[in-house]
Amino acid sequence: MGKPRREEEGYEGDPLIPILNLVCMLIPLLLYGAVFVRFMTLDVNAPKIAQGQPQQQQDENKALNLTVMITDQGFHFKVNPIHRLPWMSQATDTASAGPDIPKKDDDWDFEEFNRKLKELKDLHREEVNIILGAEDDIPYEVLIKAMDYSRGGSEPESQLFPVVTLTRGVV
């Protein structure tokens, strides 16, 4: 009497074992392929290959034409001359001018960069465009950080210049 009952008990448990095996195989496989980091995207307009706009055209245009160049020395700001602020370099080419925001502790001073962008935004509330450029060897992570700071906060009122266009090299 006892023996057949034991067999019955064993029979009840058996069908779970292949499923359990399958699940045990699937879990490591899915864990390997699973992505636990969320990825975000940042919109960017295609690079402008023509380096800078002719001076005359800039003067005729009343737009801000904000261009920021990231170099190994820091940030260089360029705007339409009629909107130039006292702290901005008067030089027409980045190579001869010192940075408007020099590096601090061997790193780009993004806090100051953010303050300057806010100052410009306060003067030009409706402006949303910014052109970003960099020296050839500037790492991608610095560009992404500059884009983050250019965009500003996530709230509409704290946004600065969310429409980013890249430009080739240093103007």
Q: Residue numbers of the site for another protein (CB under 8 A)? A: 2, 9, 12-13, 16, 19-20, 23-24, 26-27, 30-31, 33-47, 49, 70, 110, 114, 134-141, 143-145, 147-149, 151-154, 158, 166, 168-169
Alpha carbons 54 and 115: distance in angstroms, whole number: 28
- In the complex with another protein, the residue whose CB is nearer, 83 or 166, is 166
Alpha carbons 85 and 143: distance in angstroms, whole number: 24
Task: Answer for the pair 67, 133: CB distance below 8 angstroms, yes or no.
Answer: yes
Give φ, ψ of 24 to 5 degrees.
-65, -30
Beta-bridge partners for 68:
77, 132
Minimum CB separation from another protein for residue 86, in Å? 25
Minimum CB separation from another protein for residue 31, in Å? 6
- In the complex with another protein, the residue whose CB is nearer, 80 or 146, is 146
Alpha carbons 105 and 10: distance in angstroms, whole number: 71
Minimum CB separation from another protein for residue 154, in Å? 6
**Which residue type is seen at 80?**
N
Alpha carbons 77 and 100: distance in angstroms, whole number: 6
Give φ, ψ of 118 to 5 degrees.
-65, -40
- In the complex with another protein, the residue whose CB is nearer, 13 or 86, is 13
Maximal C-alpha separation, the chain: 105
- In the complex with another protein, the residue whose CB is nearer, 30 or 86, is 30
Minimum CB separation from another protein for residue 152, in Å? 6
Minimum CB separation from another protein for residue 35, in Å? 7
- In the complex with another protein, the residue whose CB is nearer, 88 or 138, is 138
